[in-house]
Amino acid sequence: MSEPTTPHDVPIRPVDDPESRAEAVRLLRAGALVAFPTETVYGLGADATDEEAVARIFAAKERPRFNPLISHLPTAEAAFALGRATPAAERLAAAHWPGPLTMVLKRAPGCPIAWLASAGLETVALRVPGSAAARALLAEVGRPVAAPSANRSGRVSPTTAAHVAEELGDRVALILDGGPCMVGLESTVVDLSGARPRLLRPGAVTAEQLQALLGPVERAEAGDAITAPGMLASHYAPRAAVRLDATDRLPGEAFLDFGGTRADADLDLSTAGDPVEAAARLFAALRALDRPGVTAIAVAPVPAAGLGAAINDRLQRAAAPRR
Ligand code: TXA
Ligand code: MG
């Protein structure tokens, strides 16, 4: 039988084959995108510790904004090295990992997950997938793998390798095929980083199952997302004000350039004007410039093409009036 071909001739190889996984590991470690099966949906994977690799996820999906991504690990032990365990998290892990459950935890000290993967937040979303083949791949990669569903923004999540090829065949280096996904629906996301557990996304692990282990679980309100752009609990905003489309620097300002417009800039998102590089540097740059004595961060204009749209979305939220 010949290898299945796709409109884009992207290789599709069996996830159960160690040589195919070795190729996936090589690609992931080199910063490329690899789609892989989990028990929920196919993920569009990248090395979660590599800011540029994570930026390529957003570019491939054509996501209009940088929402935080889930990092995948082979074991609970590996997950709790990256996110701070709590008694509740340990109870959930014992009952539901491996499985279709994602926990949002405070970053552990020295956590190497890219800032773009957590949209600049001090928390990280972690999951140990139920699929044994996915865990084998993750163990072999030896790094957290960031993976949203392997579809273009606004399309349905793929549950077969053929769906992935249709959606992203021209943008991934390799698709690992594990057959149809058993669950077919994204993982449940529960936030354990605050005083009380909050259900952020319903999924295969039900609210009742969570409550049996944790007691009362708040549900995130749909309205939470629109109260104050830039100041949402789930959206990083610098303490300093942010001034957009700046061509000059006012007293007390730090200057964040794009495309090398000012010789006296503090930082440049990309001197070459590359939006993928700029996305990769965005959150680290805002954090670096958000220091005592800086009243505002002046940001040079960033063209809206490609990932520029998501960069501008994030900058506009950071610049929006604060309550
Ligand atoms: O089933 C799944 O979870 C699939 C497969 C591929 O594993 N992955 C997936 O990933 O759906 P993603 O990255 O699209 O899911 C992100 C979800 C969003 O609801 C996001 O808001 C939430 O996780 N999330 C991630 N990091 C977060 C954080 N630090 N704080 C709050 N929410 C976070
Ligand atoms: Mg999705």
Which ligand has its closest atom nearest to the C-alpha of 205?
1
Pseudo-torsion of CA 138, 140, 143, 145, nearest 10°?
A: -30
Q: Report the range of poorest mean pLDDT among 98-102, 299-303, 313-317.
A: 313-317
What confidence tier does 6 reach under pLDDT thresholds 50, 70, 90? low
Higher pLDDT, 204 or 272: 272
- Distance (Å, rounded) from C-alpha 141 to C-alpha 207? 32
pLDDT on residue 234: 63
Predicted confidence (pLDDT) per residue in 160-170, tens digit: 999 999 999 99
pLDDT on residue 68: 95
pLDDT on residue 157: 93
pLDDT on residue 210: 96
Mean pLDDT confidence for 177-181: 97
pLDDT on residue 138: 98
Side-by-side strand order, sheet with 296-299: 241-243, 296-299, 253-257, 267-268
pLDDT on residue 64: 86
Question: To the nearest whole percent, how much of the chain has pLDDT over 70?
Answer: 93
CA of 126 to the centre of ligand 1 (A): 8
CB contact at 8 A, 234 and 121? yes
pLDDT on residue 235: 74
Instruction: Decide: 123 in ligand 1 pocket, CB within 6 A.
Output: yes
pLDDT on residue 321: 79
0.85 exceeded by the pTM? yes
pLDDT on residue 3: 52
Q: Which of 71, 189, 219 to mutate to test the pocket of ligand 1 (most atoms within 8 A of CB)?
A: 189
Predicted confidence (pLDDT) per residue in 214-254, tens digit: 999 998 865 454 444 444 556 788 999 999 999 999 999 99
Q: Is 275 helix (H, G, I), strand (E, B) or coil?
A: helix
pLDDT on residue 231: 47
Q: Which of 72, 121, 164, 186 to mutate to test the pocket of ligand 1 (most atoms within 8 A of CB)?
A: 186
b/e for 281-320, b at 16 or more Cβ within 10 A? bbbebbeebbeeebebbbbbebeeebbbbbbbbbbebbbe
Mean pLDDT confidence for 107-129: 97
Closest ligand 1 atom, CA of 201?
19
pLDDT on residue 113: 98
Other residues' Cβ atoms within 10 Å of the Cβ of residue 76: 20
Kind and range of the H or E element at 193?
none
Protein residue whose Cα sits closest to atom 19 of ligand 1: 201
Q: Over 60: is that where the pLDDT of 5 sits? A: no
Q: Is 152 helix (H, G, I), strand (E, B) or coil?
A: coil
Predicted confidence (pLDDT) per residue in 30-68, tens digit: 999 999 999 999 999 999 999 999 999 999 999 889 999
Mean confidence (pLDDT) of the chain: 92
Q: Over 60: is that where the pLDDT of 147 sits? A: yes
Protein residue whose Cα sits closest to atom 24 of ligand 1: 68
pLDDT on residue 236: 80
pLDDT on residue 221: 66
Q: Is 213 helix (H, G, I), strand (E, B) or coil?
A: helix
pLDDT on residue 222: 52
pLDDT on residue 220: 81
pLDDT on residue 233: 58
Closest ligand 1 atom, CA of 70?
13
Kind and range of the H or E element at 241?
strand 241-243
Other residues' Cβ atoms within 10 Å of the Cβ of residue 174: 21
